[in-house]
Amino acid sequence: MARRSATYKVRGPLTELTLARIRELIREPEALFWVFVFPILLTAILGLAFRSRPPEALPVAVVEGPLADARLAALAKEPDLKPDTLTEEEARQALARGRVVLVVSGGETPMYSYDPTQPESRAARLAVDAALQRAAGRVDAFSAGSAQVTEPGSRYVDFLVPGLLGMNLMGTGMWGIGFSLVVARNGNLLKRLVAAPVRKSHLLGAQLTSRLIFLIPEAGALLLFAWVALGVPFRGSLILLAAVSLLGALSFSGLGLLAAARPRTIEGVSGVMNLVMVPMWIFSGIFFSTERFPAKIQPFVQALPLTALNDALRGVMLQGTGLVALLPELAVLAVWGIISFLLALKFFRWQ
Partner 1 sequence: MPNTDSALRCKDLVKRYGDTVAVAGLDLDVRRGECLGMLGPNGAGKTTTVEIFEGLRVPDSGLVEVLGEPWHGDGLALRARLGIQLQETKFSDKMRVSEVVVLFRSFYPRGLDVADVLALVGLEEKAAAHVRTLSGGQKQRLSLACALIGDPEVLFLDEPTTGLDPQSRHQTWEIVEGLKARGRTVLLTTHYMEEAARLCDRVSVVDYGKVIALGTPRELIASLGAEHVIEFAIGEQPQAAGLHSLLSALPSVEGVAHDGVHWRLTVREVHRAVPALLAALAERGAEPMHLATHHATLEDVFMSLTGRRLRDG
Q: Applying CB under 8 A, which residues contact partner 1?
A: 5-13, 15-17, 19-20, 23-24, 27-28, 183-184, 186-189, 191-192, 194-200, 351
Give, for 152, the enclosing helix (H) or strand (E).
none
Could you tell me if 259 and 276 are in contact, meaning their C-beta atoms sit under 8 angstroms apart? yes
Rounded to 5 degrees, φ, ψ at 185 are: -70, -45
Single-letter residue type at 268 = G
Least separation in angstroms between CB 287 and partner 1:
34
Least separation in angstroms between CB 16 and partner 1:
4
CA neighbor of 338 nearest in space, from 244, 231, 258: 258
**Residue 335 or 345: which CB sits closer to partner 1?**
345
Least separation in angstroms between CB 176 and partner 1:
14
Least separation in angstroms between CB 34 and partner 1:
16
Q: 328 CB contacts (<8 Å, ≥6 apart)? A: 308
**Residue 114 or 348: which CB sits closer to partner 1?**
348
**Residue 205 or 279: which CB sits closer to partner 1?**
205
Least separation in angstroms between CB 193 and partner 1:
8
Residue 19 burial by Cβ neighbours in a 10 Å radius (0-12, 13-18, 19+): middle
**Residue 74 or 260: which CB sits closer to partner 1?**
260
**Residue 20 or 126: which CB sits closer to partner 1?**
20
**Residue 125 or 202: which CB sits closer to partner 1?**
202
**Residue 12 or 107: which CB sits closer to partner 1?**
12
Backbone CA torsion sign across 215, 220, 221, 225: positive
Least separation in angstroms between CB 343 and partner 1:
21
CA distance 170 to 306: 7
Backbone CA torsion sign across 302, 304, 310, 315: positive
Rounded to 5 degrees, φ, ψ at 288 are: -145, 165
Single-letter residue type at 206 = A
Least separation in angstroms between CB 203 and partner 1:
10
CA distance 331 to 152: 30
User: Please, how many CA atoms are within 13 Å of residue 179, restricted to the half-sphere of its CB?
Assistant: 14
Backbone CA torsion sign across 313, 172, 282, 308: negative
